[in-house]
Amino acid sequence: MTVQSAVRIAVLAPQVADQIAAGEVVERPASVVKELVENALDAGARAIRVEIEDGGKSLIRVSDDGEGMGRADAELALSRHATSKIREAADLIGVGTFGFRGEALPAIASVSRFELETSPDGVTGTRLRLVGGKREAVDDVVRQRGTTVTVRALFFNTPARRKFLRAQATETRAVAEAVTLLALTRPDTAFTLSSDERTLIDVRPAADAIERVAALWGGALADTLLPIAHREGPLEVRGFAQRPAQAKPTGRKGYVFVRGRPIRDPFILRAAEAGYRSTLAPDDRPSLILFLDLPGDAVDVNVHPSKLEVRFRDKFFVEKVVQEAVRGALGPLTAAAPLGAGDSGFGARVSWSDGSVPQDLFADPRVPSPEPRAPPLLQVFDTYILFQSDSGVAIVDQHSAHERVLYERVMRQLTGDGAPAQRLLLPLTLDFSGPELEAIEAHRELLRRVGFEVEPFSGRSVVVHTAPNPHPRFDAARCLQELVADLAGGRFGALANRLERFAATFACRAAIKAGQRLEVEEMRELVLRLLGATLPAHDVHGRPTIVQLPKGELERRFGRS
């Protein structure tokens, strides 16, 4: 006699299935807000209001002025796997909306006291009420065009999940972050967020992304951001990168959006930071807001239930282009730090007419020329070089500027045939500590390439036969001693590349110092070389090499505007 085993597999009841789906898309109140606001944006909303109480545990209400729904669509919207966004499997590739999964609304409704009120025309409307996913009532209502979703007592019927919610302040911050992210994606839409009747976010439609950034975080942050606009092949990268001089060790904002969707991708941010190479202080982290746009078939947005992660078809290509995009944003002179508020209200974004200073600006004023007389160069405090640009006054820090020029020159020398060296009539004999002698031995070839020919002498002494000559005031002995001390102490260890560390250390020690008086010809040559650098606006420490005082700011200060 054969004994059949008991059946162990069963089809889940719809209510249980809905709660499992809720576990995928509804982690906390911020998840609910994200889903509902994305639905509002997909419905064409131009104004979205979010209200929460008790961090969203007691109440979440999202109201919009989008398309709204008729009764039949409203009822279907609360059915699992119901959507207006796809019709067949092929539509999953390159979906252009924020979401398409049919689980969101029924999943939210299954773990809350839920109400949906909607109207497609501002004349007829529908109200649906559900408790724990069970329909309680369907009524006609009179309301304006759009939709309002009210979620009360989130997780009231799943206490085990409710107890894992964080403190009210923590959940409120998470909701504010979710709204902020979505507000960044759509500057043309108004967003309001209130918590326990206190307004946290209130931004009107903005003309552009930088205006939205200023509305969310203030003009002080917007002043420090440089625009990114770069395309390579199918990938376009837009957004903002913070000036290196304003980057700080803490408090940075790092956001990545792919096809308008906010995602978490530390590798993209790391690639963007690599674009700052040789411009940042060791521990500083710049704020970055990156928008990546590429064809739908080049990215899979369906690898995470909440679509917070994506998979790129060519990950390394994307990271390379992001790095180049940031590098390009830091390159022009428009990356130079501004002085004053400027005409825009978000800091001066001034530049010379063609992105560089005309060569004749630095022509010798004593030599007759058919062109107008060039503005003079002026050194003040034996440290700063001033000159007039097309739209204001430019101020160059001579040490930082020369440091940038030398760094880029030395990087070329280290990867080429080296620098021309000057043989000393009287070789230098210098003493070093044990660790410093080890540093000399480890970097002997690099020292030779920048012009120092060094050989052991006796004990802790070495003999220096040749030295570079980067400027007339160069002190070869002092430079070598400071350079070796830095190499032994690992001062520039934050730079990942060994050549970059060496070049940055040499440039810092060999550059013209603050307090050294320069001749007009020296100032002219330094500024011209700075303007020809790859990253002219910042030295290797992240400090600005040049700041700009716009004419409009001068006129404002003197009451002329």
Q: Which residue ranges make up each domain of the chain?
A: 14-87+95-203, 209-330, 335-399+518-557, 420-467+474-510
Q: Measured between alpha carbons, how far is residue 197 from residues 50, 55, 200 in Å?
A: 11, 12, 9
Looking at per-residue pLDDT, the higher value among 471 and 490 belongs to 471
Residue 64 burial (CB count, 10 A): 26
Looking at per-residue pLDDT, the higher value among 302 and 31 belongs to 31
Query: What is the rounded CA–CA span in Å between residue 147 and residue 40?
Result: 8
Query: What is the rounded CA–CA span in Å between residue 24 and residue 20?
Result: 7
- Tell me, what's the pLDDT at 100? 39
Contacts of 82 (CB under 8 A, 6+ apart): 76, 102
Spatial contact of 465 and 423, defined as CB atoms under 8 Å apart: yes
Q: Measured between alpha carbons, how far is residue 112 from residues 19, 170, 207 in Å?
A: 10, 20, 38
Query: What is the rounded CA–CA span in Å between residue 131 and residue 111?
Result: 8
pLDDT of 343 higher than 50: no
Residue at 550: amino acid letter: P
Residue at 114: amino acid letter: F
Query: Which of 3.30.750.24, 3.40.1080.10, 3.30.1540.20, 3.40.50.880 would CATH assign to domain 335-399+518-557?
Result: 3.30.1540.20
Query: What is the rounded CA–CA span in Å between residue 548 and residue 352?
Result: 11
Helix ranges (DSSP H) in 26-70:
29-42
Query: Which of 3.40.50.720, 3.30.70.260, 3.20.20.140, 3.30.230.10 would CATH assign to domain 209-330?
Result: 3.30.230.10
Structure tokens at 20: 């499992």
Spatial contact of 406 and 510, defined as CB atoms under 8 Å apart: yes
CATH 3.30.1370.100 correct for 420-467+474-510: yes
pLDDT of 505 higher than 50: yes
Is residue 307 very low, low, confident or very high in pLDDT (cuts 50, 70, 90)?
A: low
- Tell me, what's the pLDDT at 312? 85
Helix (H, G, I), strand (E, B) or coil at 408: helix
Q: Can 335-399+518-557 and 420-467+474-510 be said to share one CATH topology?
A: no
Query: What is the rounded CA–CA span in Å between residue 347 and residue 464?
Result: 49
Average pLDDT, the chain: 85
On whether the pTM is more than 0.85, the answer is: no
Lowest mean pLDDT among 77-81, 527-531, 546-550: 77-81
Query: What is the rounded CA–CA span in Å between residue 470 and residue 408?
Result: 13
Query: What is the rounded CA–CA span in Å between residue 8 and residue 454?
Result: 81
Helix ranges (DSSP H) in 394-515:
398-414, 434-442, 444-450, 476-489, 498-510
Domain at 14-87+95-203: CATH architecture: 2-Layer Sandwich (3.30)
Report the pLDDT averaged over residues 425-433. 94
**Tell me, what DSSP letter sits at residue 359?**
G
- Tell me, what's the pLDDT at 482? 93
